[in-house]
Amino acid sequence: MDKIGFIGLGIMGKPMSKNLIKAGYDLIVFDLVEDAVKEVAECGAKAAGSIAEVAQASDVIVTMLPNSPHVQEVVLGENGVLQNAKPGTIIVDMSSISPVVSKEITAACAEKGVTMLDAPVSGGEPKAKEGTLAIMVGGDEATFEKVEKMLLCMGATAVLVGGPGSGNVTKLANQIIVATNIAGMSEAMVLAKKSGVDPERVFNAIRAGLAGSTVLEMKMPLVLAGNFNPGFRIELHIKDLQNALDASEAVDGETPLSAVIIKMMQELNEEGCGKNDHCGLIKYYEEKTGVECRKSE
């Protein structure tokens, strides 16, 4: 069985790596946070002291990092993956980054005989823990087939959507839909509360209808409980929406909803709510109207 390297053991990477261990894969892991490395090592992985050590020991390297500059540094930087990986190595970048940057890194990898897939995920921490993420993949079909089984240890689905960068285009599309869903839910529930109607009853009344969605089912119970612990942080959704705006501008697209919602999120971030779950977007509406949509006692 291939030796798997895993770089990036944050909110998402940690449970994803643990699911690979549970599936029987031989893992070597690295993160700047030593406690995260120790925790995953206690589950059966080998702890690496550097990116170079991971690259030298691995046939497949999974990266799960915050944004484009982090992936560029880890893969292309001094003592990074490319400097140390052997020809034939496969990099599976599961970070959510700019499609333009993803294409650039893929091209740089190809020059060194290394193949890269961009394979961002959706589902947040709960689905990362369950191993039921939705994984959207861009890159070469033959390479995808080599790692598909591994990906399905972390996700319920892994779909090849096109060539290099297309996985991240798909993720941006996903993040636009999620953001607009959360904004619509928030706007609707605050309207209900302001009008004297219990948001919990509204939720139960509409969830089986056309307004029902995975976002509504996962996020409205958290809002009602006042639980804004992050499954996916507002500050990261800001990053994704900015990447969406940049990608749209690059192709002369139109993303007016994203432009409005990112401003809401940025305002909350400035108020110190950036590490809240993105369902905390409802606080923007609550602050403007002076009501809270919480479960009735």
Do 128 and 195 belong to one domain?
no
Do 123 and 146 belong to one domain?
yes
Is 129 tagged catalytic? no
Report if residue 297 sits inside a domain.
no
Assigned token pair, 239? 């990053």
Give the predicted TM-score (pTM) of the model.
0.91
Do 34 and 157 belong to one domain?
yes
Q: Which residue among the candidates 14, 18, 127, 171 is catalytic per the annotation?
A: 171
pLDDT one-digit tens code per residue, 98-146: 999 999 999 999 999 999 999 999 988 889 999 999 999 999 999 999 9
Residue 281 CB partners (closer than 8 Å, separation 6+): 179, 182, 183, 186, 234, 261, 264, 265, 268
Do 109 and 206 belong to one domain?
no
* pLDDT score recorded for residue 231: 84
Our count of domains for the chain comes to 2
For residues 281 and 277, give the distance between their C-alpha atoms in angstroms, rounded to a whole number: 8
Report if residue 130 sits inside a domain.
yes
Question: Which secondary-structure segment (H or E) carries 136?
Answer: strand 133-138
The angle formed by the CA atoms of residues 220, 11 and 219, to the nearest 5 degrees, is: 5
* pLDDT score recorded for residue 2: 82
Q: Which domain holds residue 270?
A: 170-289
Do 147 and 251 belong to one domain?
no
For residues 68 and 95, give the distance between their C-alpha atoms in angstroms, rounded to a whole number: 8
For residues 246 and 133, give the distance between their C-alpha atoms in angstroms, rounded to a whole number: 26
Do 126 and 141 belong to one domain?
yes
Kindly report the number of other CB atoms within 10 A of residue 287's CB atom: 15
279 Cα distance to chain centroid: 15
Report if residue 294 sits inside a domain.
no
For residues 195 and 8, give the distance between their C-alpha atoms in angstroms, rounded to a whole number: 45
Report if residue 84 sits inside a domain.
yes
Report if residue 296 sits inside a domain.
no
Do 121 and 259 belong to one domain?
no
- Ranges of the chain whose pLDDT falls below 70: 1, 297
Report if residue 199 sits inside a domain.
yes
Find the helix packing angle between 166-194 and 214-225, rounded to 10°.
50
Do 26 and 139 belong to one domain?
yes
- Give the amino acid at 265: M
136 Cα distance to chain centroid: 11
Of 141, 163, 185, the residue that ends a domain is 163
Of 163, 186, 201, the residue that ends a domain is 163
**Residue reference for tokens 């540094």:** 73
Q: Residue 233's beta-bridge partner residues?
A: 277
275 Cα distance to chain centroid: 14
Assigned token pair, 227? 């639980």
For residue 271, the domain's CATH number is 1.10.1040.10
* pLDDT score recorded for residue 1: 54
Do 44 and 157 belong to one domain?
yes
Report if residue 295 sits inside a domain.
no
Of 108, 132, 163, the residue that ends a domain is 163
Report if residue 246 sits inside a domain.
yes
Do 101 and 238 belong to one domain?
no
Do 10 and 141 belong to one domain?
yes
For residue 75, the domain's CATH number is 3.40.50.720
Do 30 and 91 belong to one domain?
yes
